[in-house]
A = this chain, B = another copy of it.
Amino acid sequence: FGSWMNQRAITYRRLHDIPADWGTAVNVQAMVFGNMGNDCATGVCFTRNPSTGDNAYYGEYLVNAQGEDVVAGIRTPQPMTIAEKEASHNSGPKQPALEEVMPELYGELYAIREKLESHYKDMQDMEFTIQQNKLWMLQTRTGKRTAKAALKIATDMVTEGLITQQEAVARIDPAQLDQLLHPMLDPDADRDILGRGLPASPGAASGQVVFSAEDAEDWVSHGKKVILVRIETSPEDIGGMHVAQGILTTRGGMTSHAAVVARGMGTPCVSGVGEFNIDYASKTMKALGREIKEGDIITLDGSTGEVMFGQVPTLQPELSGEFSLLMEWVDEIRTLGVRANAETPTDSETARKFGAEGIGLCRTEHMFFDPARIIHMREMILARDEETRRGALDKLLPYQRQDFTEVFKIMEGLPVTVRLLDPPLHEFLPHTEADMEGVAKAAGVDVSAVKARSVQLHESNPMLGHRGCRLGITYPEIYEMQARAIFEATVQCAKDGVTVIPEVMIPLVCSRAELDMLKDVVDDVAAEVSEASGVKFDYMVGTMIELPRAALKADDIAHSASFFSFGTNDLTQTALGLSRDDSGNFIEVYRDKGVMEHDPFASLDQDGVGELVKIAVERGRQTRPDIKLGICGEHGGDPASIHFFQKVGLDYVSCSPYRVPIARLAAAQAALGTDEDAMAESR
């Protein structure tokens, strides 16, 4: 028993005089023994159920035993309460509860439970020993609990008057909350683990392996459930990603295209499983000596990064009443707005359901990958003159207008920030011979023209290439069409009685001159649409701040921008000179060697990127005190980053719909000023 004592480095005292600094007292005063006969016992118990949060004693004990016997698993521990005994599903004969065997001591223990909770104001994990009918408390500490239990305990304790709403809010770990929002693997199920990658998008999913986005769509249309397996994903895989149960990539980090898109969709994703080798030609994947073929069933755990062979049963999440209650308190406390990054009706609905106060980033390019549209997009890209380009854009206009109308209606009364076309044009061109021929035929050109254009558009570093507002500067007619779609949708909504104030966002600006030129394009279209329809509407024009130069020139840019939205993904890529898609491998080495403490794409690099944000906030407000400031990078859903954004005084954060509750909670905690030091330490 001494060894157990030493091992745990605990102390004990008679219970009736708990000192305020109990938890830190370390002087051992004497020894007690639970194995001196049948009037002895030892046990471990929780003041509430650590799994469900139920307000009932929960624990195990053994008669005539030392503490290590309870945890060693050689003897089967007995339940504390009769209720627990009745509820037990164990096979074999039911063991008597402490409540029955030693009713008086149980009563004493029960009183202590009350005393401890009213002192510590939290669920306790206690250890006790009974030596010859005398109860000795060995230790008490705040107990670990599941997300579900944490939620129930915190809200119950508010009802019981033990803690305030603020304390309840401060007590929930936002990361843990994530567990409640996604399906999870049944913890009791067997797992045949194939390998492990990065936990890129939480939740668990099973399905048949397919190796291309087209196959994913095809198989799903035949009623199958699939896991999309790719070396890496690109925007043209979006259709397959939408229908897949889960996504696995062998390359890319926590913030690769696959990871970001998957999180946005709430689809489980494991990324960067570098030890797997995919061969697209033979439709197989080598997984540490085993071969996975197309059609094989695998299971992903996007919360841990595990990849398993076969189907592992999952448990569906249920959002409890406690969740809603806590979220009410959260919303009363927080001062930071929370929006969602969403562009489809489904995403917009999810966003509203999770309490988003608007859309902070509606990525218009995602609207172009649908097969009916991509063909016109490609026609536009292949056009040799403005007239042909305008012809193709005219065909895209109705689709885009329809998209905006749907999203605007779902988000009725809330702001929607629409980002004009951002990715380089070559991302929309086909890669396979067959696709190139299809495009050539549709566009009425020779396939060699498609290939030539593809070569011409190829870029060494697309991230730093002909994209964002640079497209708007070189082909103003693209932004013109998009602005028209936005404003015509606004007018349509107005006619249907739905008010919307679109916020038109120009990406990748690095100088005021760029913004000025494109703001003119947008303003002209707005005036024209208003004139033609006879409907007056409000709108804003603003810009992303996602380049270091933009942050430095924020005072100048703010003359023409009604809002800034920090694109912290690209700001991190440029400030650190670090490609999100390529850094997966070596960032791990950096962390292993202690050169970097966390992945700067997952949690904001406050020292570097953060300083740029701070500079831009100060300089932007200097020029335009009422400028609206938000952030729409992945960091908008990261608690530590949210604390930082609160500190520098942003108006809102925007994140994936599935992270909205987490962001709301983190924003409330940031407003309370809690955890700030803890957060800083944990980074």
Docked-complex contact A473 and B586, CB < 8 angstroms: yes
**Residue A552 interfacial (CB < 8 Å):** yes
Report A232 CB to chain B, min CB distance, Å: 8
A585–B465 alpha-carbon span in the complex (Å):
10
Partner among B232, B464, B513, B583 whose Cβ is within 8 Å of the Cβ of A582: B464
Query: Which A residues are within 8 Å of any B CB, using their own CB?
Result: 231-232, 274, 277, 452, 455-456, 459-466, 470, 473-474, 508, 510-511, 513-514, 517, 546-549, 552-553, 570, 573-579, 581-583, 585-586, 589-590, 593-596, 605, 607-609, 611-612
Docked-complex contact B466 and A463, CB < 8 angstroms: no
A399–B590 alpha-carbon span in the complex (Å):
30
Given A473-B593, A552-B608, A552-B611; 17 other pairs, CB 8 A cutoff? A459-B581, A460-B463, A461-B461, A462-B582, A464-B578, A465-B579, A470-B590, A473-B595, A508-B577, A510-B577, A511-B595, A517-B593, A517-B595, A548-B575, A552-B607, A553-B607, A570-B577
Docked-complex contact A579 and B517, CB < 8 angstroms: no
> Could you list 28 A-B pairs, sorted by A, with CB under 8 Å?
A459-B582, A460-B579, A461-B461, A461-B464, A461-B582, A463-B464, A463-B577, A463-B579, A464-B464, A464-B577, A464-B578, A464-B583, A465-B582, A466-B582, A466-B586, A470-B586, A473-B595, A510-B577, A513-B594, A513-B595, A517-B593, A547-B575, A547-B576, A548-B608, A549-B575, A549-B605, A552-B575, A574-B575
A510: B residues at CB distance < 8 A: 576-578, 608
Least CB separation from A570: chain B residue: B577
Partner among B474, B573, B590, B611 whose Cβ is within 8 Å of the Cβ of A586: B474
Report A249 CB to chain B, min CB distance, Å: 13
Copies of this chain in its oligomeric complex:
2
Docked-complex contact A549 and B608, CB < 8 angstroms: yes
Q: A547-B575, A574-B548 are in contact. Are A460 and B581 (CB under 8 A)?
A: yes
A470–B546 alpha-carbon span in the complex (Å):
23
Docked-complex contact A589 and B461, CB < 8 angstroms: no
Partner among B277, B455, B511, B547 whose Cβ is within 8 Å of the Cβ of A452: B277
A549: B residues at CB distance < 8 A: 575-577, 605, 608-609
A513: B residues at CB distance < 8 A: 594-596
A462–B581 alpha-carbon span in the complex (Å):
10
Partner among B514, B548, B570 whose Cβ is within 8 Å of the Cβ of A612: B548
Least CB separation from A274: chain B residue: B456
A611–B578 alpha-carbon span in the complex (Å):
21
Partner among B474, B553, B581 whose Cβ is within 8 Å of the Cβ of A608: B553
Least CB separation from A424: chain B residue: B582
A274: B residues at CB distance < 8 A: 456
A594: B residues at CB distance < 8 A: 513
Report A610 CB to chain B, min CB distance, Å: 10
A464–B593 alpha-carbon span in the complex (Å):
21
Least CB separation from A597: chain B residue: B513
Least CB separation from A452: chain B residue: B277
A547: B residues at CB distance < 8 A: 575-577
A460–B581 alpha-carbon span in the complex (Å):
7
Least CB separation from A234: chain B residue: B460
Which of A459, A508, A570 has most chain B Cβ within 10 Å? A459
A595: B residues at CB distance < 8 A: 473, 511, 513-514, 517
